Structure 1
Amino acid sequence: MSLNPCADAMLVELIPPDRIAAISHYSRDPGASSISMEVARRFAVNHGTAEEILALRPDLVIADSFTSPSTREAFARAGLKTLYLGWASTIDQSKAQVREIAAAVDAVPAGEAMLSRIDKAVTDAQTDRPLVPALLWIGGNTVSGGGTLLDEMMVKAGFSDHAAHYGLQNTGYLPIEHVVVDPPRVMLVPDQSGRDAGSRAAQMRGWALARARAKVHHARFERSLVNCGGPVIAKAMTRLAEVRREAGE
């Protein structure tokens, strides 16, 4: 059983569906999931409470390092086998998690195959051409800055992270003024076609950049590609390589 949406993304590719008792409820949320809603709906979900996990008595519980001490204690008292995942901020750290989970669920060959796909996608996306300044918007006015997995992937795919250029580390809020005064050449944006706050922020940026006559290539970068590592790395690297070609860089 997985309480972690990033573990969900790995498990659904590592083992057969009948071995997964439940995935995290986050994987049913398009804003938090790294798997498609079609895949997520095939599985039961849990909300991370000790009571529901104890009632199902899974052979293995995969949770994250932020799991509360009381929940950890409840799992320990019940004798549940648990695996707690930390935050992977580099490709190598994410690959280590793939190996850890694959070993825990007795799926080492599938794990090695997943790692091969990651390595191939990273290699295929690399270029010796000059880095192209880019901003990766997660939603609203939130961007991915330096010191993140996304930052490393962008650089390996031939982009320089313009949020890091502005001095932003990790994930955070970026005022529109920075973008207008010193725009990137590429903006990676999620699909925000509705009327939510993210769409309004994107519309405001578009209006401001147009007024400033800034030439910026906008490219869709699905929200599901920014939440986790593991198998998502291969998909994200492939998309980043596509964007470079689309932008003529």
Structure 2
Amino acid sequence: MFRGWPLLLFLGSCSGQPAIAPGGIVSNNPCIDAILAEIAAPHQISAVSVYSHESASASAPVDWARQFPALGTAAEDIIAAKPRLVLTGNLASSGTNTALAKAGIDVVAMGVAATLDEDIAQVRQIAKAIDRIDAGEALVARITQSISTPAAIPYRPTAIIWQNGGFVAGEGTMQDELLQRHGFRNASSGFGLKSWGILPLETLIRNPPEVIFMPVNADGREDRAMAARVQLINNLRNKTSIVHFPDRLLYCGGPTTIKVSKILAKAREDILALQQKDAP
């Protein structure tokens, strides 16, 4: 659940934000924030991740996150907030969690979910930690519904998720599992890729899949490098469909999985409708 972003330290006293109320729940991870936005009672939360205050890095709704003070990942800042509980990404290697434990602060730490089952387990772990089990199960039910596999899939279009830099989600990733759940066949294995790999543009153009899911920035635009690639890929318009979606949807699971599922399901419906229209 933790993204390898640069460390940002925000202190309430120097940022102009309200002081952090002691005795509450503190999250310093934007993926956890997204789950809290769905299942936590507002009075439970003392602070959220600083990343959740910015649309480019937020997974939780920004308007929701800005109701609360923002906090970075430095142990001294978290200790000064005097929380009852800290929900965090797996920061043990940095010593942060060790320092929090020595200060007598309860910590629930979790890494990046590799599968949908792990993702659901993390939702339940957070719900149990904050005593909101019923709300957690309601979110799990929505996630489970969103990823339900169609009863019969007679045809699976080939597809890849192709990010800036050529990064592609391969077999064994949660993104690969989502593609399969929604009736696609991940074309990454045909390019010899495993897990996350790099697929050069030239290779992609020579043998394109039927669908390219292409993440875009928070403002809905590609950066300059991606825009150039899109222009080239548009030459494949008669061979493949390009589906854009916000890149932040690749960062987290939880309720983000529901948003990704809607995009994948809609893309498959559009492709099948187009095939039926073109059928003789």
Length, aligned pairs only: 246
The structure with more radius of gyration: 2
Output the CA distance in 2 between the equivalents of 1:226 and 1:194. 16
Aligned to 1:203: 228
Distance change in 2, residues 1:150/1:161 (3 Å): same
Aligned to 1:244: 268
Output the CA distance in 2 between the equivalents of 1:169 and 1:32. 27
TM-score if structure 2 supplies the norm length?
0.80
Residues 71-111 of structure 1: CA distance to partner in whole angstroms, max 9, x if unpaired? 22211111000011022111101111111110000000001
Q: Are residues 1:55 and 2:80 paired?
A: yes
Contact 1:125/1:238 (8 A) holds in 2: no
How far off its partner does 1:10 sit?
0.6
Match of 1:229 among 225, 247, 253: 253
Contact 1:65/1:86 (8 A) holds in 2: yes
Moved >6 Å (runs of 4+): none
Aligned to 1:46: 71
Contact 2:48/2:69 (8 A) holds in 1: yes
How far off its partner does 1:244 sit?
0.8
The AA in structure 2 aligned to 1:238 is K
CA RMSD between the two structures: 2.2
Match of 1:146 among 171, 179, 196: 171
Q: Which shifted more, 43-52 or 99-108?
A: 43-52
Aligned to 1:161: 186
The AA in structure 2 aligned to 1:42 is Q
Aligned to 2:62: 37
Aligned to 2:199: 174
Q: What aligned pairs does 1:185-200 form with structure 2 within 5 A after superposition?
A: 185-192=210-217, 194=221, 196-197=223-224, 200=225
Distance change in 2, residues 1:123/1:208 (3 Å): closer
Distance change in 2, residues 1:157/1:144 (3 Å): same
Distance change in 2, residues 1:44/1:164 (3 Å): farther
Q: What aligned pairs does 1:111-130 form with structure 2 within 5 A after superposition?
A: 111-123=136-148, 127-130=152-155
Distance change in 2, residues 1:226/1:194 (3 Å): closer
Output the CA distance in 2 between the equivalents of 1:222 and 1:59. 34
How far off its partner does 1:69 sit?
4.7
Match of 2:244 among 220, 226, 241: 220
Output the CA distance in 1 between the equivalents of 2:213 and 2:98. 42
Contact 2:91/2:97 (8 A) holds in 1: no
Output the CA distance in 1 between the equivalents of 2:85 and 2:237. 55
Output the CA distance in 1 between the equivalents of 2:41 and 2:87. 16
Match of 2:108 among 68, 80, 83: 83
TM-score if structure 1 supplies the norm length?
0.89
Q: Secondary structure, in 3 states, of the residue corresponding to 2:188?
A: helix
1 or 2 for the larger relative contact order (CA 8 Å, sep ≥6)? 1
Aligned to 1:19: 44
Identity over aligned pairs, percent: 34
Q: Secondary structure, in 3 states, of the residue corresponding to 2:158?
A: strand
Residues 25-49 of structure 1: CA distance to partner in whole angstroms, max 9, x if unpaired? 2223444332233333232211111
Distance change in 2, residues 1:127/1:44 (3 Å): farther
Output the CA distance in 1 between the equivalents of 2:165 and 2:66. 27
Q: Secondary structure, in 3 states, of the residue corresponding to 2:108?
A: strand
Residues 101-123 of structure 1: CA distance to partner in whole angstroms, max 9, x if unpaired? 10000000001101110111112
How far off its partner does 1:178 sit?
1.6
Gaps of 5+ in 2: 1-25, 274-280
Contact 2:34/2:61 (8 A) holds in 1: no
